[in-house]
Chains A and B, each alone.
Chain A
Amino acid sequence: MAAYALRRLGQSLLVLALMSFLVFVGVYAIGNPIELLVNPEADDAERARAAQALGLDKPLLVQYGVFLLHAAKGDLGRSFVYNIPAIQLILQRLPATLELALTATVIAILIGIPLGLVAGLKPDSWIGRSIMAGSIVGFSLPTFWVGLVLIMVFSVQLGWLPPNGRGATVSLLGVPVSFLTLDGLRHLAMPALNLALLKLSLLIRLTRAGTRETVLQDYVKFARAKGLPMRRVVGVHVLKNIMIPIVTVIGLELGSVIAFAIVTESIFAWPGTGKLLIDSINQLDRPVIVAYLLVIVAIFIVINFVVDVLYSLLDPRVRIGSAAPAH
């Protein structure tokens, strides 16, 4: 187990280094930050001074080397634009993104699993079929377009919900959260639903498939034959059995929810990290781009690791270390 964790950590560090190098080259290829930062009336001397101040006068490889040296000490550099440690900018905004992603996941679970169960238990009824047809629609809707339609219906036409932004926040264990205030909830509803839609469809399909397989298993038939009420059979036997793949997928998809939040955040002007990333790309604020990716990748790695461990706990057939699951 320890050896496995170490190997994973080693691989992850390699990925992080590779990723940051690619970003360095990438930003270099996009454009010169000095062009955007310096006042256009500035002469050559001022440009040279600014380049030197930001460390952009050195060759790219040297810049990368400097970055690695500092990163090894836990310093990911300062934003070119704000002159604030990049990591600080990101951590300021991470709660908003995590709140959005987690709320979306909770919505997907609360709606997706029951619907999937129904569709799985009554696959040929009209309700089962409608749920499946609905999930195909949900699967097909591009996230950003749903966002637009939501705004159009609930903000422009009906005027029920605010079209964008994050509501009032309160501090929960030192982290500003908005889901505890009414204003916050009103702001959170549309973006969270928007982000949840894709995962919702996925969960419906997964739960249905799992349910259909499980209800045909002997022990479920047994339980039914014993005369146990359907509610109990489903609640205990079926649900328990289909939970393993579902937990895995929820865990793995959490990463993609965080990444997809970029789209939702830019539609609903949600002040999260995704918007920060887009802004930073537009301003060529390289330290922030690099730091964002490193933080997100680190989150992914942690999630993947936790899922692997959970998986092995839930399913004794899987032994961590010998045959890691495919993900």
Chain B
Amino acid sequence: MLRTIRIAAVALCASLIAFTAGARDREVTIGLQAAITSIDPHYHNLSPNNGMLQQIFEPLIRRDENMKLVPCLATSWKALDDLTWEFKLRKGVHFHDGSPFTAEDVAFTLKRVPNVPNSPSSFATFTKPIVDVKIVDPYTIVFKTATPHVLLPSDMAAVLIVSKKNGENATTEDYNSGKAAIGTGPYKFKEYVPNQRVVLTANYGYWGGEEPWDKVMFKILSNPAARVAALLSGDVQMIENVPTADLAQVRKDKRFHVVDKVSNRVIYVHMQQGSDQCPPGVTDKSGNPLAHNPFRDPRVRKALSIAINRDAIAQRIMEGQAVPAGQLLPDFFFGTSKKLKPPKYDPEAAKKLLAEAGYPNGFALTIYGPNNRYINDEKVAQAIAQFYSRIGIDAKVQTFPSSVYFTRASKLEFGYMLLGWGTESGEQGSSLRSLLATHDPKKGMGVTNRARYSNPKLDQLIEQAMETIDDSKREKLIQQAAELAMGDTALIPIHYEVSNWATAAAYRYTPRTDQYTLAMGLRPAR
């Protein structure tokens, strides 16, 4: 009798242990770098938010890990003519509260997007081109635009669909509290504590198949050392953005697995050339302004580009977490040109070009840059200065926190400025339009063209591309534009940032080029 009880007890204990172990295995904790500022998918157009909320809500069209557009809530889409787009919606999809997803929800979402109070950065940018929405049947919806809008499918990938039933009159607070945070995604919202954590639980009836995790906790660990320490101590099973300083060590460690992928963010230099007046931070070697703006001379721009040893920066400063750049996006993206390789490091040729341009002895240059925005930004600026000092330029570096830097850069207080650009549309056309088209913010052209570079031929190519719905024709135009701009060294591309993720050895993450950290990409290792 006693024996049986003992055996039963042991068996019970064993099964309990097995059970809890199983339950534990289906829970993961992930360390994020950047804070999530809201659960309202239409409140703040901010990359960390957009990634997080994709797990709860879904767009009509999704981007895969290479930022290619793939069907999601829409099964297909096509342009009926230059101004009309038709979307066929997925049937049998349910929101987390069980209500079915239909075209009504899409129409409701498009109406809500421009009307979120206090939004610091609205998603209206993506819905503005749509002037009319027509529900054909519960699973077909048609959008009308005023002018040809080629990026419409790409824009639809940025707009997450909320439920009409739960979303009517819902405020940002209602989303943060979870009351309205009801989507169609693979995870349900559980808890949000600003600046500390977000907790999600599995949506067992998900149309795309069940996820391997019952519960996913995202912890905000913005301090890089804290993030690494949390991984090392087993506090979290995955972190994003292992700082370059610790990368070698984590890679060596058998307990962990690191994956990385080149991102859609390019680090580049804008050289202010709006007028012939000598720009800020450029002087002769005794500190007097130059007679002309040297950046207006393409030979000077080219010299400044080939004087940079991009490989050394990628290897030594970035510890391999960067790929030298020759255009604005890595060459597997839409609209990139295979002909545009990273400019070769050639200080001798650079010196010659400077001499030809009338600066045989160089000049003095202040390199401006941020110190807390991009990976190792401050160090990259210093390394560039080192290379310039070898071609006879007296280079100094001045860096600012991004709170100060971007305001001053936009006021054109800098001549030579280190900047970064992530192309969210995944098309080189949109980065060319924002960074290098002639500055005309009313038209949405050259909105971030802090160089004030202006080239009518380039403008024409970009505008033409933006009106060409046919993908292959458009791609040719964008490639042409990119080759023109890079051939003129309109800006100096330095490198594409590589993003990395480190997991415990028992897990694998599918790295993404849009830098999102998604539970859907995390799987047990085989």
Contact = CB atoms under 8 A, between A and B. Distances in A.
Chain A directly contacts chain B within the complex, with at least one CB pair under 8 Å:
yes
B2 interface: no
Interface in B163-197: 172-173, 176, 193-196
A41 B38 contact: no
Contact of B229 (A30, A33, A155, A266): A155
A31 B403 contact: yes
Interface string B208-240: 000000000000011101100110010100000
A34 B196 CA distance: 24
Contact of B404 (A31, A41, A46, A81): A31
Interface string A270-301: 01000010010111100000000000000000
A162 B118 contact: no
A163 B121 contact: no
A39 B226 contact: no
B386 interface: no
A164 B403 contact: no
A43 B433 CA distance: 12
Given A162-B229, A164-B229, A54 B403 contact: no
B22 interface: no
B387 interface: no
Interface string A25-61: 0000011111111111111111101100110000000
B159 to A, nearest CB: 13
B118 A83 contact: yes
Of B122, B176, B430, most buried by chain A (CB within 10 Å of CB) is B122
A11 interface: no
B122 A41 contact: no
Contact of A41 (B401, B402, B408, B430): B430
B118 A78 contact: yes
Contacts, number: 127
Interface in B466-484: none
B176 A40 contact: no
B448 interface: yes
Contacts of B124: 46, 49
B121 A284 contact: no
B434 A41 contact: yes
B195 A40 contact: no
Nearest to B119: A53
B260 interface: no
Interface in B233-261: 233, 235
Contacts of B37: 81-83
Interface in B109-131: 117-122, 124-125
B441 A36 contact: no
B402 A282 contact: yes
Nearest to B36: A82
B430 A46 contact: no
A185 interface: no
B288 interface: no
Interface string A84-103: 10000100100000000000
Contacts of B406: 31, 35-36
B403 A37 contact: no
Contacts of A40: 421, 434, 447-448
A50 B123 CA distance: 11
Contacts of B372: 282
A92 B119 CA distance: 23
Interface residues of B, number: 51
Contact of A53 (B118, B222, B401): B118
A35 B410 contact: yes
A162 B35 CA distance: 22
Of B45, B120, B225, B421, most buried by chain A (CB within 10 Å of CB) is B120
Interface string B440-483: 01111001100000000000000000000000000000000000
Contacts of B176: 84
B424 interface: yes
A80 interface: yes
Nearest to A45: B442
Nearest to B47: A39
A35 B400 CA distance: 14
Contacts of A284: 403
B286 interface: no
Of B45, B118, B121, B442, most buried by chain A (CB within 10 Å of CB) is B121
B101 to A, nearest CB: 27
Interface string B409-426: 010000000000100100
Contacts of B117: 53
Nearest to A88: B194
A162 B233 contact: yes
Contacts of B223: 164, 266, 269
A281 B514 CA distance: 27
B407 A44 contact: no
Interface string B18-57: 0000000000000000010110000111100000000000
A271 B122 contact: no
Contacts of A271: 195-196
A43 B408 contact: no
A165 interface: yes
Given A31-B408, A84-B176, A84-B194, A269 B119 contact: no
Interface string A142-174: 000000000000010000001111000000000
A309 B440 CA distance: 64
Interface in A241-277: 266, 269, 271, 276
6 contacts: A30-B407, A40-B448, A41-B125, A83-B43, A164-B223, A269-B222
Interface of A: 30-47, 49-50, 53-54, 78, 80-84, 89, 92, 155, 162-165, 266, 269, 271, 276, 279, 281-284
Given A83-B172, A83-B173, A162-B235, 19 more contacts: A30-B403, A31-B407, A36-B402, A39-B46, A39-B121, A41-B448, A47-B441, A49-B122, A53-B120, A82-B37, A82-B195, A83-B43, A162-B233, A163-B225, A164-B226, A165-B221, A266-B223, A279-B35, A281-B403
Interface of B: 35, 37-38, 43-46, 117-122, 124-125, 172-173, 176, 193-196, 221-223, 225-226, 229-230, 233, 235, 372, 401-408, 410, 421, 424, 430, 434, 441-444, 447-448
